[in-house]
Amino acid sequence: MRLRPGRMDRLEIILANQRTEIAKAHQLLDELALQVGLPPKTCADLHVALEEHLTNVINYGYSPGQAGRIALRLDASPEALRVEIEDDARPFNPLLAPPVDVHQPLEERPIGGLGIHLIRKLTDALHYEYRSGHNVLTLIKRLPAP
């Protein structure tokens, strides 16, 4: 990474709760990846995790036709990338979702949960809180030493 020790780069964007807005989130991540020199695998993992979470929020967090606001904040330090997603959808803590048994035959698995499973597998740490009427999910991805 090109960041000096103790330095942090931060990018932020506000999205509407529409699927077409997800592309803006990916553009922001790509912008940060270029600025700080994120490894391609790290960037790819975060793209998948971001896509899964934003899709879940947009598809299931709001009533049909309800306008909503999603804030995306990306913070990069030499040690890790922190992705904070804050939304005004109905309260939902994805960390309470039960683990998915990926060894169970597909036809016997309950519907849902694979997106959260992917997010857990592709990140190093997840934090959730409900703060001032907003869901705030933070994804942490440790970065390889230079």
Tell me the mean pLDDT in the region 41-50: 96
Domain residues for 125? 9-142
CATH code, 105: 3.30.565.10
Is 82 within a domain? yes
Is 17 within a domain? yes
What pLDDT band is residue 23 in, cutting at 50, 70 and 90?
Answer: very high
Q: How far is CA 32 from CA 78, 104, 116, in A?
A: 13, 38, 24
pLDDT at 99 over 80: no
Tell me the mean pLDDT in the region 42-68: 96
Mean pLDDT of the chain: 87
The 8-class DSSP code of residue 100 comes to P
Round to whole Å and give the CA distance between 36 and 50.
18
Is 3 within a domain? no
- Assign 3-state DSSP to the chain and report helix, strand, coil percentages, each to 5: 35, 25, 35
**Burial profile 87-122: b = 16 or more Cβ within 10 angstroms, e = fewer:** bbbeebebeebeebeeeeeeeeeeeeeebbbbbbeb
Instruction: Give the model confidence (pLDDT) of 101-144 as tens digits.
Output: 656 665 665 555 567 889 999 999 999 999 999 999 999 999 88
Number of domains in the chain: 1
Is 79 within a domain? yes
Is 2 within a domain? no
